[in-house]
């Protein structure tokens, strides 16, 4: 028979694995909260106030704080400036409910200059929206273009299913949002109007890149 603390350890591990399954950030946070709760009980039974107990408390507290942040943002409908620009002007999606569904698929981050966001030949490259900053696009060791605010990266591979056709390196510090490719595909299938809006945004981004490369070639 397993001892009680071991059972809670197994339950915590299962909850962490479950956190890798959903695509919505809120569900991931809930699974992490459950895992943190089981970890607190496990270490509390096992070593009282040891380092494992302290770390599990910290893990639980951080996830609880982030979950509350998501909850209050959803209740208030508060969006950052970058999110408003993306939804209202780039994707042209005005429905708050649809905006909320898309927000759950995005992770915002700041990226310093010199970072390679995508490598040529990469299988399933990340799908990225650029809120600010600049990057250069390189193919076969030659700089062919650049990209900046309001554009997407990885959209061609997302549409075609092919490997990344170029390497993208940040040249000016960026603020970006990474979109979950699989979850976005599922959402587009369940809500076709979102799929159409996203496709239009991707096509406009691709058109801008093609026009820029043609101008560079001339």
Q: DSSP character for 85? A: I
Count of domains observed in the chain:
2
The CATH number of whichever domain residue 162 belongs to comes to 2.60.120.10
Threshold 0.85, pTM exceeds: no
| 110 & 41 share domain | no
- Taking only the tens place, the pLDDT of each residue in 18-30 is 887 876 677 788 8
The pLDDT of residue 74 is: 62
Same domain, 32 and 114: no
CB 23 within 8 A of CB 186: yes
How many angstroms from the chain centroid is the CA of residue 77?
19
**Gap between the Cα atoms of 216 and 218, Å rounded:** 5
Write out pLDDT tens, residues 69-80. Answer: 777 666 555 678
Together in a domain, 27 and 127 = no
Residues 204 and 134 in one domain: yes
Backbone angles phi, psi at 106, to 5 degrees: -115, 145
Range of the domain at 90: 81-217
When computed from its CA atoms, the radius of gyration of the chain, rounded to whole angstroms, is: 21
């Amino acid at each position: 028979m397993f001892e009680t603390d071991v059972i809670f350890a197994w339950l915590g591990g299962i909850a962490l694995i479950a956190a890798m399954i959903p695509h919505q950030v809120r569900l991931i946070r809930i699974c992490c909260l459950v895992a943190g709760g089981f970890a607190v009980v496990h270490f509390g039974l096992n070593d009282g106030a040891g380092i494992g107990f302290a770390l599990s408390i910290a893990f639980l507290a951080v996830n609880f704080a982030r979950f509350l942040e998501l909850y209050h943002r959803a209740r208030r409908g508060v969006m950052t400036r970058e999110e408003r620009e993306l939804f209202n002007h780039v994707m042209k999606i005005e429905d708050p409910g649809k905006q909320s569904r898309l927000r759950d698929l995005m992770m915002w981050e700041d990226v310093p200059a010199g970072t390679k966001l995508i490598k040529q030949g990469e299988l399933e490259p990340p799908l990225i929206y650029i809120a600010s900053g600049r990057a250069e696009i390189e193919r076969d060791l030659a700089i062919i273009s650049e990209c900046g605010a309001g554009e997407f990266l990885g959209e061609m591979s997302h549409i075609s299913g092919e490997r990344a056709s170029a390497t993208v390196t940040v040249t000016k510090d960026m603020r970006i949002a990474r979109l979950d490719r699989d979850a976005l595909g599922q959402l587009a299938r369940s809500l076709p109007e979102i799929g159409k809006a996203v496709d239009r945004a991707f096509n406009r981004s691709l058109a801008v890149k093609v026009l820029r490369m043609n101008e560079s070639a001339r």
